[in-house]
Structure 1
Amino acid sequence: MKILVVDDIPLMRHVLINMLRNLNYLDIVEATDGIQAFTLLKKQSFDLVITDLYMPKMDGKDLLNRIRNDEQLTSTPVLMVTCEDNSKTIKNVIAAKVSGIIVKPFSLKCLADHLNHVLATANKS
C-alpha cells in the first residue's frame, strides 16, 4: 500500500510516518502542502492520502476538493488529520466527501482503527 502523508510541519509528518511504519505501512511519500501533494498525485498512484487540514498554499480541504473533482483521483481515500474541533468545520470537511477524520492528538490504536475503517470502506466501492 502506497500512502501520501501531507503536513506542513516536519515533526508532525515524521510522527505520523513513524506511526504508519509501526503498523507495517512502509511505502510512504511526504508532501509539505496541498500543492506539492496534488502534483505528486498526478504523477504517481497512491492508495491513500493522509493530510492535515490547515496548511499554507493549499490546505487539506482544498486538496480534498481537487482530489474529489479529478476524474482519475476521485476514488482515492483521504484521511484528514486536524486539531480542529469546531463542528461546522468538521461538517464542511465531511460534506466534501472525506473518507475519515482524526482529531489530534491521537494514539497508534486510533490511527490503526481509522485506517482499517477507511480501507475497508474503500475496498467496498
Structure 2
Amino acid sequence: MKILVVDDMPLMRHVLINMLRKLEFKDLIEATDGVQALQLLHQHTFDLVITDLHMPKMDGKSLLNRIRDDQQLQNTPVLMVTCEDNATEIKEIIAAKVSGFIIKPFSLNILAKQLKKIAELV
C-alpha cells in the first residue's frame, strides 16, 4: 500500500511514519502541506492519504475537497488527523466525505483500527 503522509510539522510526520512502519507499511511518501500533496497526487498513484487538518498554504479540509472534486483522485481514501475538537468543523469534514478521522494524540492501536476500517471500505 502506497501512503502519502501530509503534515507541516516534521516531528508529526516522523511519528506517523514510524507508526506506519511498525504496522509494516513501507511505501511511504511525505508532503509538508496540501499544495505539495496535490502535486504528488498528480505525479503518483497513492492507496491512502493521511493528512493533518491545520496546515499553511492549503489545509487538510481544502486538500480533501480538491481530492473529492478531482475525477482521477476522488476515490482515494483520506484519513484526517487533527487536534480539532470543534463539532462544527468535524461535521464539515465528515460531510466532505473523509474516509476516517483520528484525534491527536493517538496510539498505534487507534491508527491500526482506522487503517483496517478504511481497508474494508475500499
Give your verdict on TM over 0.5.
Answer: yes
* 1:27 is the counterpart of 2:27: yes
Task: Give unmatched runs, 5+ long, in structure 2.
Answer: none
* 1:64 is the counterpart of 2:64: yes
Q: CA deviation at 1:121?
A: 0.7
Q: Give aligned-pair identity as a percent.
A: 69
Aligned residue number for residue 109 of structure 1: 109
2:81 maps to a residue whose letter is V
CA RMSD after TM alignment:
0.3
Aligned residue number for residue 9 of structure 2: 9
TM-score (norm 1): 0.97
TM-score (norm 2): 0.99
Q: CA deviation at 1:119?
A: 1.3
CA distance in 2, matches of 1:89, 1:118: 21
Task: Give unmatched runs, 5+ long, in structure 1.
Answer: none
CA distance in 1, matches of 2:103, 2:118: 15
Q: CA deviation at 1:108?
A: 0.2
1:51-75 residue CA offsets vs partner (Å, 9 max, x unmatched): 0000000000000000000000000
2:63 counterpart SS class? helix
Structure 1 runs (4+) greater than 2 angstroms displaced = none
1:11-61 residue CA offsets vs partner (Å, 9 max, x unmatched): 000000000000000000000000000000000000000000000000000
Aligned residue number for residue 75 of structure 1: 75
